[in-house]
C-alpha cells in the first residue's frame, strides 16, 4: 500500500527501529524504497537516486504507552510535519512546493475529465471490448477507464494546440505580406496598422493558450495515456518486474521533470488492483499479443508504420516546396541577367514581391514543421516501428510464455523510455512568446 500512496499518514514517535513492518521501517520504505528483510538487497532502486514525488509523509508525532515512550528528540507529541527527503528542509509545516504542483496537475486532470465526462463516455476509444473483459483481471478495467479519459483529453488539447499553431503561423504570413506590400509596392500606413493588428492577434492567441495550459495538458495527457497503455497490456499479459516492491509506474519519467510525477500518481491509483494480484492467464497473454503488438495491419506495429509514412510524406512536401522556390528564384535571377535594362526595370518590383512572398511561404511552412517536430517524429515512429517489429519476430520464435513475457517487458520499457523522450522534445517545440516575436520580425 505504501508504494501506491500519494501521501503516507504516519502516526509515529519519530524513532528509527529495525522491526520489520514497523512504522519507522514503513516510513523508510516510502522514502527510499528499501525495507531490510522485505525488499531484495540485490535490486538497485532508482527512487534512491532521483527526486521522487512519492516520498511525501504526513507525520503526526505521537508518544507510546510504554517505558521510554516519548517522541524522538526535537519532536513533541501531537505536533505535525510534512516529512520528505529534502536535504535542506526535510520537515515543513506547509506542503512542499514541488509536491503541491504535482497535486495541482493531478487535480487539473480530474477536473478536465469531469468537465468532459459525457463526451469521453460517448467518444473515447477503449482498449478493452466487452468480450475481452471476462478473460482478463478485473483491475484492467480501472486502467482502461483512466486511459479513455487521458486519451480523449490528449486528442482534445492536441486539436487546440494545432489550431493555435496554425492560426499564429497564418497571422505571421499575413504580417509578412503586409510588410512586403508596404516596403515594395504601396507605402500606405494602413498596411502598418494591419501588420500591428495581426501581431497583436497572434499574441492574444498565445496568451489564451498559455493561460489555459493547452500545450502542457496535451503533452502530459498523451504521455499518461501511453503509460497507461503499457500498464494495461502488461497487467493483462501477466508481465511483472519480479520485485515485490516495484511496479510499472515506478521508473516512468523518473529522471525527467519532477512536475511530471503526477503522471505516476495517476498510474499508481489506476493499477492498484492489478499490482496487488498478478495475473498469468494464457488468454491475457494472447489478448496483449493481438491488441498491443499486432501485425502489419493491426496493433501498435501497424500504427507506427502508418504514422511514420504520414510524417515522411508531410516532411517531403515541405522539402519539395523549398526546392521549387529555390529553382524559381534561380530562374528569376537568370532572366534578370538576360533581359534588357528597360524590361528589367519594368518587371523588377513585381518579381521581387513574388520572390518575397514565396520565400515567406516556405519560411512559415518550415517554421510550422519545426513547431510540430516533423523530422524528429519521423525518427521516433521509425524507431518504435523497428522495436515492435523486432518484438513481433522474437515472440513468434519464442518457445514458451515466460520468454514471451520477458520480451513484452523489454518492449514496454523501451516504449516508456521513448515516450519520456517524446514529451521532453515537444516541450521545446511549443509556440513560445519569443517565437511570435521572431516571426513578427
> Does any domain span residue 136?
yes
Instruction: Examine the domain organization and report whether 336 and 282 are in the same domain.
Output: no
Instruction: Examine the domain organization and report whether 70 and 141 are in the same domain.
Output: no
- Structure confidence at residue 40 (pLDDT): 61
- Structure confidence at residue 74 (pLDDT): 84
Tell me which H or E stretch contains 278. Answer: none
> Does any domain span residue 86?
yes
The half-sphere exposure of 409 on its side-chain side, counting CA atoms within 13 A, is 13
Tens of pLDDT, residues 330-353? 887 787 777 767 766 777 777 778
More confident residue, 230 or 245: 230
CA dihedral sign of residues 38, 44, 49, 50: negative
Instruction: Examine the domain organization and report whether 189 and 239 are in the same domain.
Output: yes
- Structure confidence at residue 344 (pLDDT): 63
Confidence of residue 256 (pLDDT cuts 50, 70, 90): low
Residue 37 has pLDDT above 90, yes or no: no
Residue 164 has pLDDT above 80, yes or no: yes
Tens of pLDDT, residues 200-213? 999 999 899 989 99
Count of domains forming the chain: 3
Q: Produce one character per residue of 321-331: b if its CB has 16 or more CB atoms within 10 Å, e if not.
A: ebeebeeeeee
Tens of pLDDT, residues 357-390? 888 888 888 888 888 888 888 999 999 999 999 9
Backbone angles phi, psi at 250, to 5 degrees: -60, -45
Tens of pLDDT, residues 168-208? 999 999 999 998 888 888 888 999 999 999 999 999 998 99
> Does any domain span residue 412?
no
Instruction: Examine the domain organization and report whether 179 and 71 are in the same domain.
Output: no
Residue 12 near residue 64 (C-beta atoms within 8 A): no
> Does any domain span residue 266?
yes
Domain that holds residue 320: 294-397
Across residues 2-20, what is the average pLDDT? 83
Least confident stretch, 218-232, 320-334, 402-416: 320-334
Tens of pLDDT, residues 111-134? 999 999 999 999 999 999 888 887
Tens of pLDDT, residues 215-234? 999 999 999 999 999 999 99
Start-to-end CA span in the chain (Å): 56
The SS3 of residue 80 is strand
- Structure confidence at residue 47 (pLDDT): 47
> Does any domain span residue 408?
no
Instruction: Examine the domain organization and report whether 230 and 275 are in the same domain.
Output: yes
Across residues 64-74, what is the average pLDDT? 84
Least confident stretch, 21-35, 36-50, 159-173, 313-327: 36-50
> Does any domain span residue 407?
no
> Does any domain span residue 156?
yes
Confidence of residue 280 (pLDDT cuts 50, 70, 90): confident
Q: What's the pTM value of the predicted model, to 2 decimals?
A: 0.84
Instruction: Examine the domain organization and report whether 250 and 356 are in the same domain.
Output: no
- Structure confidence at residue 55 (pLDDT): 79
Instruction: Examine the domain organization and report whether 151 and 278 are in the same domain.
Output: yes
3-class secondary structure per residue, 96-124: CHHHHHHHHHHHHHHHHHHHCHHHHHHHC
Instruction: Examine the domain organization and report whether 213 and 315 are in the same domain.
Output: no
CA distance 118 to 115: 8
- Structure confidence at residue 433 (pLDDT): 43
Instruction: Examine the domain organization and report whether 17 and 156 are in the same domain.
Output: no
More confident residue, 315 or 428: 315
Instruction: Examine the domain organization and report whether 263 and 327 are in the same domain.
Output: no
Tens of pLDDT, residues 259-268? 778 888 898 8
Q: Which of 94, 125, 151 is the last residue of a domain?
A: 94
Instruction: Examine the domain organization and report whether 111 and 201 are in the same domain.
Output: yes
Q: Which of 94, 116, 144 is the last residue of a domain?
A: 94
> Does any domain span residue 165?
yes
Confidence of residue 48 (pLDDT cuts 50, 70, 90): very low
- Structure confidence at residue 249 (pLDDT): 59
Confidence of residue 16 (pLDDT cuts 50, 70, 90): confident
Q: Which of 71, 94, 117 is the last residue of a domain?
A: 94
The torsion region of residue 184 among left (phi > 0), alpha (psi -120 to 50) and beta comes to: alpha
Instruction: Examine the domain organization and report whether 282 and 142 are in the same domain.
Output: yes
Amino acid at each position: 500500500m505504501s508504494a501506491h500512496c500519494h501521501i503516507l499518514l504516519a502516526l509515529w514517535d519519530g524513532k528509527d527501529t529495525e522491526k520489520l513492518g514497523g512504522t519507522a521501517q514503513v516510513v523508510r520504505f516510502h522514502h527510499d524504497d528499501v525495507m531490510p528483510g522485505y525488499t531484495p538487497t540485490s535490486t538497485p532502486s532508482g527512487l534512491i537516486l532521483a527526486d521522487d514525488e512519492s516520498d511525501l509523509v504526513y507525520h503526526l508525532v505521537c508518544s507510546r504507552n510504554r517505558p521510554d515512550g516519548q517522541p524522538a528528540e526535537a519532536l513533541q507529541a501531537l505536533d505535525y510535519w510534512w516529512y520528505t527527503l529534502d536535504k535542506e528542509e526535510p520537515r515543513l509545516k506547509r506542503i512542499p512546493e514541488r509536491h503541491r504542483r504535482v497535486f495541482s496537475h493531478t487535480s487539473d486532470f480530474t477536473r478536465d475529465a469531469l468537465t468532459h465526462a459525457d463526451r469521453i463516455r460517448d467518444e473515447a476509444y477503449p482498449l478493452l471490448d466487452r468480450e475481452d473483459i471476462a478473460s482478463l483481471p478485473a483491475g484492467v478495467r480501472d486502467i482502461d477507464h483512466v486511459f479513455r479519459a487521458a486519451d480523449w483529453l490528449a486528442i482534445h488539447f492536441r486539436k487546440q494546440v494545432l489550431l493555435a499553431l496554425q492560426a499564429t503561423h497564418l497571422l505571421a504570413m499575413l504580417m509578412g505580406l503586409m510588410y512586403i506590400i508596404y516596403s515594395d509596392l504601396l507605402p500606405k500606413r494602413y498596411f502598418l496598422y494591419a501588420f500591428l493588428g495581426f501581431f497583436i492577434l497572434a499574441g492574444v492567441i498565445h496568451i489564451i493558450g498559455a493561460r489555459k495550459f493547452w500545450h502542457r495538458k496535451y503533452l502530459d495527457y498523451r504521455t499518461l495515456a501511453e503509460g497507461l497503455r503499457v500498464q494495461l497490456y502488461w497487467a493483462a499479459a501477466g508481465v511483472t518486474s519480479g520485485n515485490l516492491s516495484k511496479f510499472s509506474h515506478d521508473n516512468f519519467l523518473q529522471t525527467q521533470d519532477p512536475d511530471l510525477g503526477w503522471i505516476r500518481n495517476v498510474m499508481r491509483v489506476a493499477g492498484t488492483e492489478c499490482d496487488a494480484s498478478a495475473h498469468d492467464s494464457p488468454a491475457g497473454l494472447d489478448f496483449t499479443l493481438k491488441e498491443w503488438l499486432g501485425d502489419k495491419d493491426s496493433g501498435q506495429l501497424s500504427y507506427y508504420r502508418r504514422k511514420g509514412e504520414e510524417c515522411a510524406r508531410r516532411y517531403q512536401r515541405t522539402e519539395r516546396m523549398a526546392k521549387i522556390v529555390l529553382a524559381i528564384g534561380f530562374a528569376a535571377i537568370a532572366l534578370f541577367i538576360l533581359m534588357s535594362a528597360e524590361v528589367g526595370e519594368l518587371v523588377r518590383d513585381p518579381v521581387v514581391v513574388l520572390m518575397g512572398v514565396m520565400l515567406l511561404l516556405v519560411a512559415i511552412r518550415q517554421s510550422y514543421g519545426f513547431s510540430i517536430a516533423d523530422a524528429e517524429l519521423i525518427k521516433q515512429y521509425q524507431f518504435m516501428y523497428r522495436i515492435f517489429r523486432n518484438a513481433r519476430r522474437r515472440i513468434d520464435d519464442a518457445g514458451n510464455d515466460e520468454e514471451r513475457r520477458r520480451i513484452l517487458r523489454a518492449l514496454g520499457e523501451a516504449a516508456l523510455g521513448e515516450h519520456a523522450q517524446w514529451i521532453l522534445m515537444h516541450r521545446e517545440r511549443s509556440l513560445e512568446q519569443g517565437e511570435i516575436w521572431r516571426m513578427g520580425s
